[in-house]
Structure 1
Amino acid sequence: MKNFSLTLHLWTGLVFGTILVVLGLTGSALSWMHELDVLFNPGLLHVAAPRGMRTGDPFRSDPALIESVGDALVRDSRYGKPNTLELPLRAGDVFVASYRVPPGRANAPWVQSVTRQVMIDPSTLRVTGERNWGEFGMSRPLLMPTLFHIHRYMVAGETGKVIIAVTGVALVLMVLTGLMLWWPRMIGSAIWNAVTIRHGGSWPRFSFQLHRAGGFFAAPVLLVSALSGIYFNMPEWVTAAVNVISPVTPNPKLMNQSIGPGEGASVAGAVIAAQAKFPDGRISRVSFPARSGQPFEIRVRQPAELRQGPGATRISIDSGDANVLRVIDPERARGGDKFLSWLFPLHTGEAFGLGGRIFMCLFGLLPLAFFVTGLVIWVKLRRKKLFGM
């Protein structure tokens, strides 16, 4: 059994190791995605704080301001009604309006989808600039989006999502087979030897001990990272498994329940209805109806949520009469829903605040260390096999 586990562990690492290294290094950078994006693009993503506020103060967009931004975009022939509008988190941040760009090359599964982002100053409603989110490039506006799409899709669209999900499955296999290979005899000296690292003047031995002990301690975080990575790209794979243990609430697409065509409810009305459900929450994103008969979706972050930034609370608002159609509340979720809502903040480390983000940033370097030490071990095993050393 151990020989089979060793073979599976080695070859899975050789096949998927390079992808895992790329995911780890890009993940380290993405731990500070917003901060780095603003640092590289101050003219695009940073503006003067509103009067009476200091840069960095918490910022809450009132319904009238949100509607004013939407109206300004609709009146401008260059933009029109956006698909989504992300709200400023702090004073000095901008509104970000997103527009879907028609897919090119017959919507091939390996083509990365592109979203046009337009940035708006909350105080003046002036457009500060725009960029194409999803377009590959190393320029300052495209650098962080490119790192994100490498990490999430390998910049390969739907095909990339499958590759990353399969890589997540491979990582689960590597962790499980690695634990089987690590498992010592249940005596004190053997256990101590399996969790300590000593150089002893031999680099191959040091690499083996670092790989073995480091893998043991990293196993829980690696499993969470693998499982969450699979879920983000192929949610049905994980949801089906979780649903066997604890029910997961289905969230089908909704349509308006109000009578009559068109969108009788204003953006401000939808925001007011959502805010009434969560008075202490911060509205972070508004998704506009893509076509007639569809509702608004309002994203909210509640104060106690694990997920930072935009939060994970979603309220669907009838675009005809501004009635609430559905609420997805991670704070009141149970069982499988609760487990799935934890995956993103655990994946990024933000569930544990600044310390968690720092930890995950450093943790992203481990796949490179495991790949290098694994190669040293593999080369040594090959030499023994070929030359009887």
Structure 2
Amino acid sequence: MLLLHRYVGLVLAPLLVVIGLTGSVSVFRVELDRMLNPDLFITRHKDAQLPLSRIVAVIRSQHPDQSLIAVDYRPAPGGTIHAYLSPATDKSGRSRTDELFFDPSDAHELGGRVAEGCCLGRRVLIPFIYRVHYSLAAGPIGMWIIGITALVWSLDCLNGLLLTLPPVTPPWRRGFWSGWQKAWVITRPRSALRLFFDLHRAFGLWLWIILLGMAVSGVALALGPQVFQPVVRTFFPMAEPTPPVPRPGGAHPLNLDEAESRAYDYVVAHGVSARPAALLLSSAPDSAMFYLFSNDDSFPAGFGSPMITVNRETGAITQAEFPPHGRLGDLILQVQDPFHSGRLAGLVGRILVCLSGIATTLLSVTGVLIWQRKRRARAQAALKSTLRNTPPHRIARSASAQHSED
């Protein structure tokens, strides 16, 4: 178990340092992005708000050759409208702007950037760091690497916990807890090796449940459809899909404003009073998914926002999610993103997740340092043993030969 923990840790350490540090930054990526790019995120028109259909019409008229994918159209006072277009390239092969920002008072364009731009310019720095966090900025292959890393890390968290337990005393004996208590504290260091060991073990124990949760949710977010969701659906009960809810009065095509009202009326009937702030569009079929029911573009704390999909051709509600809802399997799936982002516990949760990224880096670095110090100590011990067991005249002869070669 110790050898497995050691060498798994050595292999994962570089990736975990990158994932941990970029994750700590990504927790507050919206706030940091706003600080770096106030001209894109802040406007003087604090109370103006255009109808959704007007906003979408302006965006489409200004960018007719790119499809509108999503738009955060109801910003907080002083905020801006945030739209995503389909990726495209110009005649020279360069990526065109596909992430745009608009003033909510008249929908005039404030600026934009390439959503997957690289690398360290202030316009793209925070999105790039976030992309490194979830995919190493390497697309689907990077997401597989992150997902497999998170899966192995999850198993290694369990192995690491077992290694902290007293080796002999069973848990039901009195001496077990007093023996295990030593693993939770950082003693006065007698050497650098002892300090690294105490930091590694104590931080790992105090933050163990958070670190395990981050690892498991990392698998869920990186390899959800491929690995996590099939496993959950296999071993845990799931609720039956909600059947479509027809439009009262019969099927009828809806424009975007009518679709928004349809979604809002539906959530009000289920006890949610906030209006939607974001829209995801789909053309097959022609549907609109409304989310961020928070009256602005902020993410609600807890399990998150309802997500309501309206078929614009018929007016029917084709999908409705009100997290937390459903059976155990549904709850397991719904909690992964709020837990991983820290939004499950509001600002306190986000701070804890930010600190867990720093702790992951600390555990990775101290683990490597422990291995390095022990390896050096073993090498020195082996050298001393060799010298102790070698006759003096052979040592002198070897030293003389080495001196002659030099």
Q: Tell me which interval the TM-score lies in, with the shorter structure as reference length.
A: 0.7 to 0.9
Equivalent residues of 2:244, 2:319 under 8 A apart? no
Q: Percent identity?
A: 26
- Kindly provide the amino acid, as one letter, of the partner of residue 287 in structure 2: P
Paired residue for 2:345, among 326, 332, 352? 352
> Whole-Å Cα distance in 2 between the matches of residues 193 and 103 of structure 1?
60
The residue correspondences of 1:175-186 to structure 2 (distance < 5 A) are 175-184=157-166, 185=169, 186=171
Q: Return closer, same or farther for 1:332/1:310 CA change in 2, 3 Å cut-off.
A: closer
1:315-330 mapped onto 2 (5 Å cutoff): 315-330=308-323
Cα distance change on mapping 1:156 and 1:47 into 2, 3 Å: same
1:332 is aligned to 325
Confirm whether residue 217 of structure 1 aligns to residue 209 of structure 2. Answer: no
Aligned to 2:385: none
- Paired residues of 1:256 and 1:294 also in contact (CA < 8 A): no
Q: Which residue of 1 aligns with 2:266?
A: 277
Is 177-186 or 310-319 further displaced after alignment?
310-319
Which ranges of 4 or more aligned residues in structure 1 deviate by more than 6 Å?
254-258
Matched, 1:298 2:287: no
Aligned residues of 2:294 and 2:300 also touching (Cα < 8 A): no
Deviations 1:321-345 (A, max 9, x none): 3221221221333311112111111
| Number of residue-to-residue matches in the alignment | 360
Structure 1 unpaired stretches of 5+: 54-60, 105-112
Alignment-derived partner of residue 84 in structure 1: 70
Q: What per-residue deviation string (whole Å, max 9, x for no partner) do you get for residues 147-174 of structure 1?
A: 1100011000000110000110121122
**1:78 positional shift:** 5.5
- What residue is the counterpart of 2:24 in the other structure? 28
- Give the corresponding residue for 2:82: 96
* Cα distance in 2 between the residues matched to 1:125 and 1:310: 32
Which is higher, the Rg of structure 1 or of structure 2? 2
User: Of the candidates 122, 134, 158, which is equivalent to residue 152 of structure 1?
Assistant: 134
8 Å CA contact 2:277–2:291 kept in 1: the answer is yes
The Cα offsets for residues 217-253 of structure 1, whole Å up to 9 and x where unpaired, read as 221111110111111111131222222332235879x
Within the candidate set 12, 34, 40, 1:38 is matched to 34
Q: Read off the aligned partner of 2:5 and give its amino acid letter.
A: H
CA 1:191–1:331: 2 relative to 1, 3 Å: closer
Amino acid at match of 1:361: C
Q: 1:114 to 1:150 in 2, by over 3 A?
A: farther
- In the alignment, what sits opposite 1:50? 46
The 3-state SS of whatever aligns with 2:279 is: strand
Compared CA separation, residues 84 and 310, structure 1 to 2 (3 A) = farther
**Cα gap change, 1:192 to 1:45, in 2 (>3 Å):** same
The AA in structure 1 aligned to 2:205 is F
* CA deviation after TM superposition for structure 1 residue 182, in Å: 0.8
For residue 41 of structure 1, report the CA deviation from its aligned partner. 0.4
CA distance in 2, matches of 1:298, 1:167: 33
Partner of 2:373: 380
Contact in 1 for aligned 2:282/2:288 (Cα 8 Å): yes
